[in-house]
Structure 1
Amino acid sequence: MKNLALLLFLITIQVFAQTPDEKQLKLIYDAALTQGKAYDWLNYISNQIGGRLSGSVQAQKAVEYTKQQMESLGLDKVWLQPVMVPKWVRGTPEFAYFETSPGMTTNIPICALGGSVATPPGGVKANLVEVHGLEELKSLGRKKLEGKIVFFNRPMDPKKIETFEAYSNCVDQRTSGAAEAAKYGAVGVIVRSMNLRLDDFPHTGAMSYGDTPIKDRIPAAAISTNGAELLSITLKLNPDIKFAFRQSCQNLEDVPSFNVIGEIRGSVHPEEIMVVGGHLDSWDLGQGAQDDGAGCVQSMEVLRLLKKTGYRPKRTIRVVLFMNEENGLRGGTKYAEEAKAKNEKHVFALESDSGGYTPRGFSFDCSDANLAQAHGWKKMFEPYLIHFFEKGYSGADILPLKNDQIVLAGLRPDSQRYFDVHHSANDTFDQVNKRELELGAATMASLVYLFDKYGVVQ
């Protein structure tokens, strides 16, 4: 009995020893984990709407749905911000094979890269040249590349624990490969998917032709990692194999769309604006659940959690669901342009665009003084296993807001599984864990609460 009484006494002391901030964080996490809405919102966006290519009917449905849900939260204001966006359509499913000898073919999973032109109606068929980077094209020159299909096969580096670093180190072959190969007379490019595991899912993503004249643009497609491995081995055994692929994608005229915005007006400093957001558009192959439906519903949940726990923000807090991050960044650019035109004072922005996996912490793009302030709060996050508070990249959509005063932050979930589904057909709702998603939303709401309460260091 004495031991039990001592235990109860110690627990009581611990509870009463909590600071007001620690109590508020616990309220936020408890509400997210027991009364969360993010998972239900994501279920609808993923399964009832699906992939949301910029300019598509599905993207517009997502705009309407998220606006309606934000209005139901009783926010002070909800509105749509018009933005013109590019419209690229995939067309009929892509088809590819390699031919080892006349009539002997093996089918390979591919998908067109976003922004690519189509092949001729009958497709493209040519010998392959395997390279491992853009620099290698220069050494080969026109003599060895003209009339060929260039096969970019530089994998993501598995030794990189930070998988976004591995992605950054090889994504240039996807974004610029076609433009560079066209300079040497290539007739098409095939790019290894940005994926750390071996599977049969080709991963799309944005590519650019730069200033390449329209008549000189060549089709570009991604090949699955299993397909890339097989193709590379076969090419070493038989350098004369031919590769054939067909795709019917199109770049159409820009169309109108919207950023979706909702806010709680600040009670003390309404002129100081804090943003939390993700991008509402996605690629079309899957449902866009992890990229970036998760970030959108987490951002909406931040405002709901603050209201649910009875917290009244000092500053104006906005959730912004940006349109067209994937193939243009028009939404983020438009939001920043209008903020500047209205002379709005943005002091903080947080983006979630790394998936709805277990949160680990945040990366900050800010002054040393503001980073030190965030480090001062780190102890409060440790009970929730949040430990990463470092300088680094924040997010594409909030980057246009950057200036010397604002604090930009990015939620950093565990990234080891993210590129398994990134931009591919298996980015679906069943890949999202409810508890992980809720923990991420609570972690974001907690950081927003602290920066709102204490402000940024000027």
Structure 2
Amino acid sequence: MKKLIVLIALCLSSQVFSQTDEDVLKQIYKTALVEGKSYSWLETLSIDIGGRLSGSLNAERAVDWGKAELDSLGLDKVWLQPVMVPKWVRGAKEFAYIKAGSGVTTNVNICALGGSVATNPLGVTASVVEVKNFEELEALGEAGVKGKIVFYNRPMQADLINTFSAYGGCVDQRYMGAVEAAKYGAAGVIVRSMTLNIDDLPHAGSMTYEDLPVSKRIPSAAISTKDANLLSTMLKLDTSLQFYFKQNCKQLADVKSYNVIGEITGSQFPNEYIIVGGHLDSWDLGDGSHDDGAGIVQSMEVLRLFKTLKIKPKHSIRVVMFMNEENGLRGATEYAKEAKAKGEKHVVSLESDAGGFTPRGFSFDCTEASFNKILGWKPLFEPYLIHYFIQGGAGADVRPLKTDSNITAGLRPDSQRYFDHHHAANDTFDAVNKRELELGAASMAALVYLFDTHGI
């Protein structure tokens, strides 16, 4: 009888170890699509909790939720990593209008940019100068700018297929616009929203004053693309028009928050780490479903799939829910600092922070030799229409973990609709497709499995 039991065990063991990579990937995709949890997790995070601006009550609730869900997965370790984060509050809804020379006013849609100061209690009214870049601003100089509102109106470049490149080509006006305009005595800044769509939705995002004294800081807001076009057209017809805006935001003292971390400890290399993650915080206009609720639940699903399929990793696999990517990157900085202090070896760090749309592939920041090895796995993904493998940047949260010898990577979904929702009020749960989200989670789990099995 004992011999029979041993024989059966050997047969079962042989079947497990005879599984090919194709077999395992098929199981991963099937499990994610048939019994996945990412979509239901996202529903809770987005609808029950909502927008999660760093330092807010909702961000605190999201931390508690994330830890509880990871605890329920039966991971080897779950913990909170403290981190001090900025606390900026928007206050009452912003209000703005264009006032033509005739005295007729037209209301327009704006939102304060993250980190901006408020206007004075009565708001700011001034004439407007439109510029496309900092060179045009410099050419105007103090004589052309002082006391006026600078209107940055450089759109995203529509002919770039990679919409992240288009975003990168114009985001400097949002981030540095107030600093540059303040040099010439501007009264405020209005920035065209970072989206290719023409709509009524202003898009939030971070901005900076660098080391500008508080007394020199000027209010900065985003205007919807539809209203940016309107303002530009009206300026061409009437250069004497004025713009009024009022915003009530405030920067408070830093507060304590947390990164949420869970781990499956590796069987052979417990001190070598493969991490998956996204950022738990979001802007406050929507509920942060695409940016970056999707990345959070996809990363959680990677570890759940390993547990469900009884995949025992060689390396330790961690999920990290980073706090404060949107307006400070404090969570990523603290995680990398602590990892370095402990001498932790992070061999692969994979981030999902490009929305929950259909996955197309991955980008890898790695050596040529590592990338060539990764390209050998590409045929395994082609049945799932994952074929976009490039050498390039990874996500902002894993960037501080990069060394000369490891790999950082990013999930690359189809990006054509991403900036329709990015940082706007329509970044909501209803904008995420269940199947697309689950395919992304499965793709991440498949890549992590291959890295763990075959190394880098």
Q: Same fold (TM over 0.5)?
A: yes
Aligned to 2:259, the other structure's residue is in SS state: strand
Q: Does 1:317 align with 2:317?
A: yes
Partner residue in 1 for 2:152? 152
Partner residue in 2 for 1:307? 307
CA displacement 1:108-138 (0-9 Å, x = unmatched): 0000000000000000000000000122111
Partner residue in 2 for 1:329? 329
Partner residue in 1 for 2:101? 101
Partner residue in 2 for 1:376? 376
Partner residue in 1 for 2:38? 38
Is the CA contact 2:54–2:324 (under 8 Å) kept in the aligned structure 1?
yes
Partner residue in 2 for 1:260? 260
Aligned to 2:389, the other structure's residue is in SS state: strand
Q: Does 1:417 align with 2:417?
A: yes
TM alignment of 1:242-261, pairs within 5 A: 242-261=242-261
Q: Matched residues in 1 for 2:113 and 2:87: separation?
A: 14
RMSD: 0.8
Q: Matched residues in 2 for 1:281 and 1:256: separation?
A: 13
Q: Matched residues in 1 for 2:96 and 2:203: separation?
A: 15
Aligned to 1:297, the other structure's residue is in SS state: helix
Q: Matched residues in 2 for 1:255 and 1:205: separation?
A: 20
**How far off is 1:169 after superposition?**
0.3
Is the CA contact 2:295–2:353 (under 8 Å) kept in the aligned structure 1?
yes
Aligned to 2:316, the other structure's residue is in SS state: strand
Q: Matched residues in 1 for 2:80 and 2:177: separation?
A: 36
Partner residue in 1 for 2:120? 120
Q: Given the two structures, how large is their TM-score scaled by the length of structure 1?
A: 0.95
Partner residue in 2 for 1:166? 166
Partner residue in 2 for 1:407? 407
Partner residue in 2 for 1:76? 76
**How far off is 1:19 after superposition?**
6.3
Partner residue in 1 for 2:47? 47
Aligned to 1:355, the other structure's residue is in SS state: coil
**How far off is 1:308 after superposition?**
1.2
Partner residue in 1 for 2:9? none
Letter in 1 for 2:215: K
Letter in 1 for 2:196: L
Q: Matched residues in 2 for 1:445 and 1:228: separation?
A: 42
**How far off is 1:97 after superposition?**
0.2
Aligned to 2:54, the other structure's residue is in SS state: coil
Aligned to 2:158, the other structure's residue is in SS state: coil
Aligned to 2:100, the other structure's residue is in SS state: strand
Q: Matched residues in 1 for 2:379 and 2:102: separation?
A: 67
Q: Matched residues in 2 for 1:134 and 1:144: separation?
A: 13
Aligned to 1:305, the other structure's residue is in SS state: helix
Partner residue in 1 for 2:287? 287
Partner residue in 2 for 1:347? 347
Partner residue in 2 for 1:427? 427
Q: Matched residues in 2 for 1:363 and 1:127: separation?
A: 45
Letter in 2 for 1:441: A
**How far off is 1:101 after superposition?**
2.7
Q: Matched residues in 2 for 1:342 and 1:298: separation?
A: 27
Partner residue in 1 for 2:198? 198
CA displacement 1:232-267 (0-9 Å, x = unmatched): 001101111000000010000000000000000000
Aligned to 1:425, the other structure's residue is in SS state: coil
Partner residue in 1 for 2:22? 22
Q: Matched residues in 1 for 2:309 and 2:384: separation?
A: 18
Aligned to 2:360, the other structure's residue is in SS state: strand
CA displacement 1:315-368 (0-9 Å, x = unmatched): 000000000000000000000000000011110000000000000000000111
Aligned to 2:376, the other structure's residue is in SS state: helix
Q: Matched residues in 2 for 1:321 and 1:285: separation?
A: 21
CA displacement 1:151-209 (0-9 Å, x = unmatched): 00000000000000000000000000001000000000000000001000000100001
Q: Matched residues in 2 for 1:163 and 1:132: separation?
A: 19
Aligned to 2:87, the other structure's residue is in SS state: strand
CA displacement 1:46-92 (0-9 Å, x = unmatched): 00000000000000000000110010000000000000000000000
Is the CA contact 2:75–2:264 (under 8 Å) kept in the aligned structure 1?
yes
CA displacement 1:2-38 (0-9 Å, x = unmatched): xxxxxxxxxxxxxxxx961000000000000000000
Partner residue in 2 for 1:60? 60
Aligned to 1:101, the other structure's residue is in SS state: coil
Q: Given the two structures, how large is their TM-score scaled by the length of structure 2?
A: 0.96
Q: Matched residues in 1 for 2:221 and 2:409: separation?
A: 33
Q: Matched residues in 2 for 1:310 and 1:19: separation?
A: 13
- Runs of at least 5 residues in structure 1 that lack an aligned partner in the other structure: 1-17
**How far off is 1:102 after superposition?**
5.3
Partner residue in 2 for 1:11? none
